[in-house]
Every structure is written in C-alpha cells, then in structure tokens.
Amino acid sequence: MNPLFAPRTLPFELPDFSAYADDDFAPALEDALTRARAELNTIAENPEPPTFENTINAAELMGEDIEKVLSPFYMIASVDSTPKREELMRDFSPKLAQWGSEVKMNRKLFERVETLYQTRETLNLTAEELRVLELSRRSFVRAGAQLEGDDYDRLKQIKERLAILGTEFTQNLLADERDWYMELSEDDLEGLPDFVIATAKSAAEAKGLDGHIVTLSRSLVVPFLQFSPRRDLRKTAYEAWTARGANGGETDNRAIAKEILDLRYERAQLLGYDDFASYKLETEMAKTPDAVRKLLMEVWQPAKAQADLDAAKLTELMRADGVNGDLEPWDWRYYSEKRRAVEHDLDETALKPYLQLDNMIEAAFDCSNRLFGLAFERLDVPLHHPDARAWNVTRDGQHIAVFIGDYFARDGKRSGAWCSALRSQQKLKADIRPHVINVCNFAKPSEGAPALLSYDDARTLFHEFGHALHQMLSDVTYEMISGTSVARDFVELPSQLYEHWLEVPEVLQTHARHAETGEPMPGALLEKMLGAATYDQGFATVEYVASALVDLAFHDGPAPADPMAKQAEVLDQIGMPHAIRMRHATPHFAHVFAGDGYSSGYYSYMWSEVMDADAFEAFEEAGGAFDPTTAQKLEDHILSVGGLREADVLYKEFRGRLPGVEALLKGRGLDKVA
C-alpha cells in the first residue's frame, strides 16, 4: 500500500511525514484521481432522481484520497522545497486544474444540482444545507458549467494554463530568494546590533559558509536596512530584494504576469463579465471595483499626507549625516529607526530581548484561553521538520484541534507567513477536528540562543494565530464552509482582530520578559512601545495601498498590454512618494500571481481592517479586551460558523451594524492628518 493511503496511527490521525518519500506522491495522486473520477461518474450518472444526499452530500465527500495526497505534499513543498518537489508541483498543477474542470464543468452533475436548487423550497433543508446548495450551484455557474462548445473547451484550457503559470511564478520567486546573498566583511558589520550580526552569521552557517551574509529573507534584510549605516550596502540589499522575479533569464516573472492577466480577462469575458475584477468581486463583501477603489482612496489621501511629512523629517536626519540628494527607498527604514529612537526613545535592540518567540507563542495561547477556554499541551510526534512543533488543543478536557507551528526561515521555504489546514473541520463523514499549521519566517538564532522577535514579528505571530483560531473553533457540518472558507475580504478579520491582543498592556506585562534576566518589560519601555504603535504608519499604509490599487487596476478593465507600464502609470496617478515603493512589485506579487486567491483582492486586508478596528472597540465598549460576553459573540457569530451566511450578515450579527473607515484611520494614527 502507498504510505499516503495507509491507516494513520499517530495521535489524532496526524500524517506521518517520516513515512513519506517524494516518489510516493505522483503514483498516489494518479490512484486518487482514478478513484475520484469513478466517484464522480457514479454521482453524475446516477439513474435515481437527484436528492440532497445522493448529489450534494455525495459530491462533498468525493475525492477524499486526493486530499490525503495533496495536504501533506503541498505543505512540505512550501516549507522545504527541493528540485524534485518543484518538479512534482509543475506536474500536478495542470492535472489538478483538469480535475477541477471535470467536476465543476460536469454538465450532468450541474443539472442535478440545478434541479435541487430550483426546487429548494420543497426540500425541507436546514439553513446550513440550503447555504451549501446555494454555494454549490454558484460555484458551478462561476466555473463555466453553463458554457457550451468552443467556449467550454477554451475555459478548460485557460484554467489549466493558469495553474501552470501560477506554479512557475512561485518557483521563480523562490529561486531568486534562495540564490541571492551578500557577504559581509568585519568592517561591514560596524553599526549593526548584536541580533542582526547573529542572524547574519546563522544565515551563513545555513549555507555552509564562514562569516556573515545578508539574504533576502525578510527577517534578515529588513533589520539590515534598519540598522546598517553603510548606504551602499543598503542599496545593494534593497535593490536585490525588490528585484525578485525581475532579474532576466529563466526566473523572470514579467512575461508570466502578463500572460496571467490576459488569461484572466479572457476567462471573465467567457463567463459574461466585463472584466476579471467584476467577476472576482461579485462574491466578496465589496461587490464592485468602485467600492474597493473608494475605500482605498479614502485611506490613501491621509496616508500619503503623513508619509510626505515623515519624508521631510527623515531627509533632515539624512542631511545631518552629510548625505545630499534625495531620500531613497533604501534610506527610509534606516532614518526612520533613527527618528524613532529620538522621538519615542525606543531602540529595537533594547526591545527585542523582551519579545522571545516562545513567550509570544505562550501569550497567543494564553489570550485564546482567556477568551475561548482553549488549552495547549505539547505533542511528541514526528513532523515535517525538526524545527516544527505541535500541540493538542482542548477545551474542558475535550479535543478541539491539533496546532502546528513552523516558525523559522530556511532555504527552500516560501517567504512570508501563512496559516493552512492539513485537515479541515467537518461533521458530514464524522466529527472530524482540524489539523492547523502556522508558518512564519522568523530569524533562527544560533545554537542555544533564544529566538528574539521584533514587534512586527510578534504581530505576525498573533495574526496567523487568529487565522488558526478561525480554523480550530469551526463548528459546522460541511467542510466547504468550515473555518476560513469565507469571502476573501472577510477572511482577514479574525487574524487582524487578534493582533489587537498583543497591544493589551496586561498581556505584555505577563509574557514580555527579558531573555537573560526573566524580568518583565519595564513599564516605561512598555509605554514607549505601545506609544509608538502607530509610528511610521504613513509609510506602511502607502506601500500597502499602492500595491492594492495596482492589483485592482490590473483587473478592472481589459488586461494591460504591459503590466510594468501599467504599474508605473498607476503609481504616477496617485502621486507615489519617491522614497517609498510598493510593498509587492508586480514580478514578486505572489498574492496576486501565484494563484487567484488575492487577485483583485489584495485590498482585502484593509477591508477587513475596517471591521477589525471596529470589532475590538466592541470589547473595549463592553469593559475590556477579555470581556466574556463579547468573546462568546465573536465565537458564535464569526469564528465557529465559517461561511454559513454572507459575511456582512455575520458581522452585523456580531456587532449590530457595519463599520465605517473612521476606526481604521484612528487605529493607524491617520485620523488627524490634514
């Protein structure tokens, strides 16, 4: 038996990664697809009249073996990529796109679903069953099940090609990140704090090198840009970081981005939409490109005004260093760090020892215990990497989930941070509890040293744990609506909301303890840190909103003839400050081009932030961050119900109304900018 299909004997039926070899995945997927196609044929060709049980339920349970293969494969491929695994991803992409089309463009299956949908009022369905039926029917229509002839065939081709291109985009980006590094001499280390030097040494050791290097891992390149007084080295590192995917040769993503945009526009046209943004946003809270643009521009104006004020102050600091010319993007973080030290008397080198990784994990756990009664116990099980760790999550002694954390950057690991489910919650087949993983890219310390985080790192940890709570607390029958299976511009609400608990003073007073002395963070330092929480939000907001506006412009209307020219045009129209660049330039904009997930949807973080700022105010209005009644409402109406109802309905059930942009601007310190 292929080990991927063998009975799982580890606690809670966790996958046994130690039993899987790379050569197991391809034959396992072929076997799984063969069985799934037989299941599909049985459902679609069933001579019996369609019922909810023999059509919707049967389709929901179809293809279980595919998930047994893909769930562990894509996790290890994203956190420990190798040439073999990259080859498998390229091989799998078109096959899986083809399988998706076979299901969602299957006319006979769609006819059965359509029959049920048209007679839904007579079927005596529960609210959840009705929702699942409506979403199933919608997914078929949006996938092209109603198309015929050449249009039907062309859409299938487009989907398969997009799957290939998304994989290529991701792998090119990973290759650029993996291959570049800059060696540092002893003189080049001057001015760098100890934690950056230690991280640079650890990065060199990971590549089998002596000395110190800067890589394109965010956890190393950003602090280097913050602290290195060597403007020439900052420029070299920054330009390499922002040139990912645009270096020419085999890993250049610019032609891929153009082809993706062309195919998305053609796909939308085939389905009867004006453009891809109109197609994509139809099922989101925002609904239309105009609504997205309105929100982004409401935030852009005060953010740009603040960034312009900040740029003038940073230029003064640069002049004081004897540097003439314009403030450049590789200067911003360095002089911003200097300014923060002066205006807020806050030095990150003094702050980091209080933000130990293990303590911040415990802080996230503790908050979830006080809010939702969750408890965490370490599990001794084999995982995909020695750095990963797992916990059994319980409530009142009952198993809720398995939570896995994989926190350190390494070669072959996709950049960024994310949450995914190795197994999602559902009750249709059995009472299945989820296996949830948080992946981050924090700097790994030298052997025996504690892992120290920046404040931004700690926020990332809380953010991803908010996603994990959305998965772990899910309590629905159907996997298709469980956990984070919600509108893209709603999915970031739980994650961004959870970030707020990192700012609660009592949480930091308990868990922010010095790595060497164990002493809690001094009150004065805590006050400075929280007081600087909105520091440099002009920069952060501008780089984010610019990316979101470019993403929207790519998809709102015909595909651009030259995406890089379109990017430049949009940035010129909005008056992008010279010293700030997009957070994600087109050639490395993985959110948008690695798949359809955030295409036309990068705005989602800000749309959700409007809600998360308002949602945290609900706790404060009720008496505090740990108000039990508000926490219960949050679980009942948002965290446990997945996509049971439309996102705006869920939020109004929790809060009683939809919010405005005011709380967001206040939270970012932009509410008083002229």
The helix (H) or strand (E) run that includes residue 329 is helix 329-343
DSSP 554-617: HHSSSPPS-HHHHHHHHHHHHT--TT---SS-GGG-HHHHSSSTTTTTTTHHHHHHHHHHHHHH
* CATH for 3-146, options being 1.10.10, 1.20.1050, 1.10.3470, 3.30.70: 1.20.1050
Cα separation, 631 vs 451, in Å, equals: 31
How many alpha carbons fall within 13 Å on the CB side of residue 433?
Answer: 17
pTM to 2 decimal places: 0.93
Q: Are 214 and 221 in contact (CB under 8 A)?
A: yes
More confident residue, 349 or 207: 207
Tell me the Cα Rg of the chain: 25
Cα separation, 592 vs 589, in Å, equals: 6
**Confidence band of 532 (pLDDT split at 50, 70, 90):** confident
- What are the φ and ψ backbone dihedral angles of 182, each rounded to 5 degrees? -125, 120
Quick one: average pLDDT of 320-332? Answer: 96
Quick one: average pLDDT of 364-368? Answer: 98
Q: Quote the pLDDT of residue 635.
A: 98
| Tens of pLDDT, residues 354-364 | 999 999 999 99
Cα separation, 367 vs 619, in Å, equals: 13
- What are the φ and ψ backbone dihedral angles of 406, each rounded to 5 degrees? -130, 100
Q: Are 443 and 474 in contact (CB under 8 A)?
A: no
Q: Are 41 and 103 in contact (CB under 8 A)?
A: no
**Confidence band of 349 (pLDDT split at 50, 70, 90):** confident
Structure tokens at 506: 């009592």
Structure tokens at 202: 């650890």
Q: Where are the domains of the chain?
A: 3-146, 180-238
Exactly one of 86, 284, 348, 464 is catalytic; which is it?
464
| Tens of pLDDT, residues 493-516 | 999 999 999 999 999 999 999 999
Q: Is the pLDDT of residue 674 over 70?
A: no
What mean pLDDT is reported for the chain? 95
Q: How far apart are the first and last CA of the chain?
A: 68
Given phi > 0 = left and psi -120 to 50 = alpha, else beta, which region is 586?
alpha
Sign of CA dihedral 234, 239, 244, 248: negative
Q: Is the pLDDT of residue 673 over 80?
A: no
Q: Is the pLDDT of residue 251 over 60?
A: yes
More confident residue, 66 or 412: 66
* Helix 289-320 vs helix 329-343: crossing angle, to nearest 10: 70
Q: Are 590 and 584 in contact (CB under 8 A)?
A: yes
Quick one: average pLDDT of 184-192? Answer: 96
Cα separation, 523 vs 508, in Å, equals: 10
Q: Is the pLDDT of residue 12 over 80?
A: yes
Structure tokens at 663: 């709380």
Strand positions, DSSP E, 153-254: 181-184, 212-215
| Tens of pLDDT, residues 430-481 | 999 999 999 999 999 888 889 999 999 999 999 999 999 999 999 999 999 9
Cα separation, 185 vs 179, in Å, equals: 19
Catalytic, 160? Answer no
Compute how many other C-beta atoms are within 10 angstroms of the C-beta atom of residue 429.
12
